[in-house]
Amino acid sequence: MKKRILFVDDEQSLLDGLRRALRGQRKEWDMVFALSGREALELAKSEPFDAVVSDMRMPGMDGIELLNKLLSLQPDLIRIVLSGHADKNMTMHSVMLTHQYLAKPCDIEILKAVLSRAFHLREALTNKRLQGLVAGMSSLPSLPAVFNELTKRLQSPDTTIREIGEILAKDPAMTAEILKMVNSAFFGIGRHVSSPAEAASLLGLNILKALVLSVGIFSQFNASQFKIKDFSIDVLWRHSLAVGALAKRIAQTKECEKEFIENCLLAGLLHDIGILILAQNTPDEFIQCRILMAEQGVERYSAEQEVFGATHGMVGAYLLGLWGLEDQVVDAVAFHQQPGSTAYAGFTPLAVVHVADMLDKTGPGQDLAALESALDMDYIQRLGLSDQLAGWQALHATADEVQEL
């Protein structure tokens, strides 16, 4: 079935240019063009769309108002901003409402790639309810202690950008969101950033203060809203920090390039972000999944497939992909539970995160057989990594996630 895309801009010449440039996509995409926010909203009221690509500054109804209304009307809509110069406050608020922000003039191949990638990720997440749930998310809940520490430090005149970067690195949700922001075209970095510390440095304290204190980029985790007994976001995040640190050290043992090491660290930090999404938004089904695991001994991967029709890895990957994180990171998050189900070959962040995840779950001091039973050994052997497992296992005993991050 063709994907339906709504393009919105008050400049007829721009819409005409998009129509000509995207003519080759007509077999795959059904494209509709609107000259105003109001026209776009009326179209969306009468027919569903898969994605919207909208300008920000338009007379009458601007992009922020339009995207807010579309979010309520069609929460599963993929929302892309394609805009030129705009008021900074408007643009920063728009980043909260959009999945990706592209700057005019935009290379048409980049626009096509962004839309195609988003559609591909959504097709992999077959549960329609989860598609709408994930696409409708604008933020992830952060640990209260870290959130409070961040806001306190940002209000202090003595705070340094390094301190802010260290705080952000403690919380995977903050890491994901700040990277979404810094990699948007609005900030004009010109290259992909994968380190929260570097992201903080590039944005600067003034923008960070506005994002956190005024725009409200982060939301605080509220444990009282959860109906799930024995679920701890602190435990989840500690595991994520440990896996990120281990993934970084494993990549360093292979003397990989800096970008590869940073992607391993980031993928390790974010690999379980889908668990938080499912626990926060689908508590009843999440409890069913935990019952299958605890009482019937069903593996998490199989339990999630039975209850949700998707794994937490795929749920997290869909959100991170929509937010524009790099393919290597998204793939590692998507398939870290079952890497052998993919066609990926070679030493990738996916392989590193799979090993790091199982290392932390089996714990330090276990014999090698325990680790091998937890790993997808067919996949590990296919990559020729079996003889390195003992060395990587030794890393866990000395890992210090806080220092490593």
User: In this predicted model, what pLDDT tens digit does every residue of 289-324 receive, in sequence order?
Assistant: 999 998 899 999 999 999 999 999 999 999 999 998
Q: Identify the pLDDT of residue 351.
A: 96
Q: Identify the pLDDT of residue 112.
A: 96
Q: Residue 57's domain is classified under what CATH number?
A: 3.40.50.2300
Burial 281-313 (b: 16+ CB within 10 A, else e): bbeebbbebbebeeeeebebebbbbebbebbbb
Q: pLDDT tens digit string along 372-391? A: 999 999 999 999 999 999 99
Q: Identify the pLDDT of residue 140.
A: 82
Residue 139: inside a domain: no
In a shared domain, residues 291 and 368: yes
Q: Identify the pLDDT of residue 144.
A: 79
Q: Is the pLDDT of residue 404 over 60?
A: no
Give 187 or 333, the one with higher predicted confidence: 333
Q: Is the pLDDT of residue 79 over 80?
A: yes
Share of the chain above pLDDT 70, in %: 92
Residue 100: strand pairing partners: 80
pLDDT band at 145 (very low <50, low <70, confident <90, very high): confident
Q: What average pLDDT does the structure give for the chain?
A: 88
The Cα-based distances of 140 to 143, 207, 282, 365, 366 in angstroms read 10, 20, 14, 34, 34
In a shared domain, residues 282 and 380: yes
Helix and strand numbers (H, E) in the chain are: 22, 7
Give 329 or 341, the one with higher predicted confidence: 329
Residue 29: inside a domain: yes
Q: Identify the pLDDT of residue 204.
A: 86
Domain range for residue 154?
144-219
Residue 362: strand pairing partners: none
| Residue 223 structure tokens | 């444990």
In a shared domain, residues 366 and 387: yes
Sign of the C-alpha dihedral computed for residues 334, 339, 340 and 342 taken in this order = positive
In a shared domain, residues 180 and 210: yes
Q: pLDDT tens digit string along 254-297? A: 888 999 999 999 999 999 999 999 988 888 999 999 999 988 99
- Which of 124, 159, 184 marks a domain boundary? 124
Residue 131: inside a domain: no
Q: How far apart are CA 328 and CA 316, in angstroms?
A: 14
In a shared domain, residues 203 and 341: no
Q: Is the pLDDT of residue 92 over 80?
A: no
Q: How big is the CA angle at 40 (ends 34 and 46), to the nearest 5 degrees?
A: 120
Q: Identify the pLDDT of residue 403.
A: 46
Q: Identify the pLDDT of residue 242.
A: 92
Q: pLDDT tens digit string along 197-219? A: 888 888 888 888 887 776 667 77
Q: Identify the pLDDT of residue 225.
A: 62
Q: Is the pLDDT of residue 106 over 60?
A: yes
In a shared domain, residues 171 and 296: no
Q: Identify the pLDDT of residue 398.
A: 67
Q: Which residues contact 118 (CB under 8 A, 6 or more apart)?
A: 51, 78, 99, 321, 322
Residue 364: inside a domain: yes
Contact 351, 384 (CB under 8 A): no
In a shared domain, residues 84 and 153: no
Q: Residue 365's domain is classified under what CATH number?
A: 1.10.3210.10
In a shared domain, residues 97 and 194: no
Residue 137: inside a domain: no
**Number of domains making up the chain:** 3
Q: Identify the pLDDT of residue 399.
A: 56
Q: Identify the pLDDT of residue 233.
A: 85
Q: pLDDT tens digit string along 59-76? A: 999 898 999 999 999 999
- Which of 60, 94, 124 marks a domain boundary? 124
CB atoms within 10 A of CB 8: 28
DSSP H helices, 221-342, are: 233-253, 258-270, 273-281, 283-296, 300-308, 312-322, 327-335
In a shared domain, residues 188 and 321: no
Residue 129: inside a domain: no
In a shared domain, residues 168 and 210: yes
Residue 135: inside a domain: no
- Which of 219, 251, 269 marks a domain boundary? 219
In a shared domain, residues 268 and 400: yes
Residue 130: inside a domain: no
In a shared domain, residues 270 and 398: yes
